[in-house]
Structures are given as C-alpha cells and as structure tokens.
Amino acid sequence: MIDDMRTILITGATAGFGLATAKLLANDNKLILLARRQERLDELQKSLGDNVYVAAVDVTNPQQVKDFYNSLPADFKNIDVLVNNAGFALGMEPAQEANFDNWQQMVDTNISGLLRMTRLVVGDMVSRGSGQIINIGSVAGHVPYKGGNVYGATKAFVWQFSRGLRTDLFGTGVKVTNIEPGAAETEFASVRFKDEQKGKDFYAGWKPLKPEDIANTVKWVIDQPPHVNIDNIEIMALAQASAGMVIDKG
C-alpha cells in the first residue's frame, strides 16, 4: 500500500459510471467501492487488487452506512474524494399515472442517499482542510422531458445542493463539483424500465455517451491543481440535445 495515494470513495461502483470510474482510478489511488450487489463487489475486489476496499452498502440505509464507516480499515479512513454516483430513474410515466413508490425510491436514493454520504465525510474533510465532493447530477435536472418529472427534480436538487455546499465550504479547502451527463449507455435504462430489452432498445440506433466518458471527466476533475475548482460540467452525446421551445396547435 502506498501511503501518499489519494483515497477515493465511489458509491454505485458495480455498474455504469461508478464501475468505469473505479477501473480508471484503480492503479493510482486507494478506492472504497460501495453498492448493494455483493457478488459484483467481490469480483471487483479480486480484479482491482489490494488498494481496493469494497462494502455492500445501500446508501438509503442509515445503519448500513454508519456501520460501514465505523469499520473502515485505518488505511482507508481519510477519504480525500467522495464520488456521489449511486442513483437511478424508475419509470417514465407522466405524473398523473406514476407509481408513488418509484418516486419515493428516487428521492430516497438520489437525494437522501447523496446527503447521507456527504454528511458522513464532509466534517473530516473540513477538519483536514482538504477534500473533494463530486456529485453526479444530470442534464435532466435542467431540461424537462415527458416522464422525467421526479427523476429530473432529484437532479435539480443535486445541482442546487452542490452550489449550496460549495458556498458553505468556501474557504475550507474542500472542493465541490456537479457533473451533469446526458444519456449514457449503462444499466440506467434497463433499471428505469425494469426490462433489459427495453433498456437495450433505448440505446439502439444512435451513439449515446459511454460510461468511460464520465469516468474520464471524473478523473479530469480530480486531477486539477489545488487552486482550481470545477463547479459544474454538462456533458452530452453529440446525438442528444434539448428540443427547445415547442407549441401545441392541436
């Protein structure tokens, strides 16, 4: 173990952006990887080596989060970077037809989970006078689309919370970034539709972002010199854009 390596905690590390980021950062950093699926975490532990600590933690579960934090090995206790990535959309029905439980789960994970993880690490970062919190928001936090209702609202929360956090942490040495991707080919769509084929169909016939595009962005944000804070990044596939103002004449 190399003591001067950064310790980076990534939530949602078993798929998509979190997994690609873990793979990209594994050689040069100590990683703490969290997600719910133990088998995948075990595979990551094997494939990414000694500088990786994995824990099956559901960010919506306060006790699991607390227990995980209290049992971190000494080598991993000083967290330099938190990547708040765990999250999802569930359903794409218009508000008047949506399943309330889906809404609740998105709020619990994308908002409360992110807050819980942030609160867990931010005090120590401030005490040490350094650290970095990278939130994964979404362009859906700014651009409404049909059925994006609560998902988009959770990401609008992430945008505003990131700005509030940056304000509170001003002068402490702790950095805050909100990365806002457009559609990327991950498990996101199959989770959203609860249907693998529908998920695949969503990405068929065009070129969405890849998980590695976001991993590269996270790495670039982390690699900035100490005096630079990247506040916000929007990153879209060339093949996706907001449709602009529309009129219904019908």
SS3 31: strand
Give catalytic status of residue 53 as yes or no. no
Kindly report the number of other CB atoms within 10 A of residue 130's CB atom. Answer: 14
C-beta of 18 vs 131, nearer to ligand NDP: 18
Shortest approach of ligand 8X3 to residue 125 CB, angstroms? 27
CA 9, chain centre distance (Å):
11
Q: Which of 186, 215, 222, 236 binds ligand NDP (CB under 6 A)?
A: 186
CA atoms within 13 A on the CB side of 107: 8
Smallest separation, CB 75 to ligand 8X3 (Å)? 34
Whether 33 contacts 13, CB under 8 Å: yes
Instruction: Tokens for 10, please give them.
Output: 């990534």
Give Cβ neighbours of residue 170 (< 8 Å, ≥ 6 apart).
none
Sign of CA dihedral 178, 122, 18, 110: negative
The residue among 6 and 40 lying less far from ligand NDP, judged by its C-beta, is 40
Pairing verdict, β 232-235 and 7-11: unpaired
Tell whether residue 18 is a contact of ligand NDP (CB under 6 A): yes
**Residue holding tokens 């709020």?**
107
Q: Which is nearer to ligand 8X3, 5 or 156 (CB)?
A: 156
- Binding of residue 77 to ligand NDP (CB under 6 A): no
Overall residue count recorded for the chain in this entry: 250
Q: How far is the CB of 139 from ligand 8X3 (least distance, A)?
A: 6
> Closer CB to ligand NDP, residue 58 or residue 80?
58
In order, the DSSP letters of 169-196 are TTTTTEEEEEEEE--BSSSHHHHHHT-H
Is 13 among the residues that bind ligand 8X3 (CB under 6 A)? Answer: no
Q: Could you tell me how many residues of this chain bind ligand NDP (CB under 6 A)?
A: 31
Interface residue with ligand 8X3, options 26, 32, 140, 150 (CB under 6 A): 140
Which 29-48 positions form the footprint of ligand NDP (CB under 6 A)? 34-37, 40
The Cα-based distances of 206 to 182, 186, 187, 199 in angstroms read 13, 14, 17, 14
Task: Kindly name the residue from 53, 69, 145, 151 that is annotated as catalytic.
Answer: 151
Smallest distance, ligand 8X3 to C-beta of residue 173, A:
30
Number of residue whose CB is nearest ligand 8X3: 138
Confirm or reject binding of residue 88 to ligand NDP (CB under 6 A).
Answer: yes
Pairing of strands 81-84, 232-235: unpaired
User: 36: which 2 tokens?
Assistant: 């719910």
| Shortest spacing between CB 138 and ligand 8X3, in angstroms | 3
Task: Verify binding: residue 12, ligand NDP, rule CB under 6 A.
Answer: yes
Give yes or no for residue 58 binding ligand NDP (CB under 6 A). yes
179 binds, among ligand NDP, ligand 8X3, none (CB under 5 to 8 A by kind): none
Q: Does 158 bind ligand 8X3 (CB under 6 A)?
A: no
Give me the active site residues, please: 151
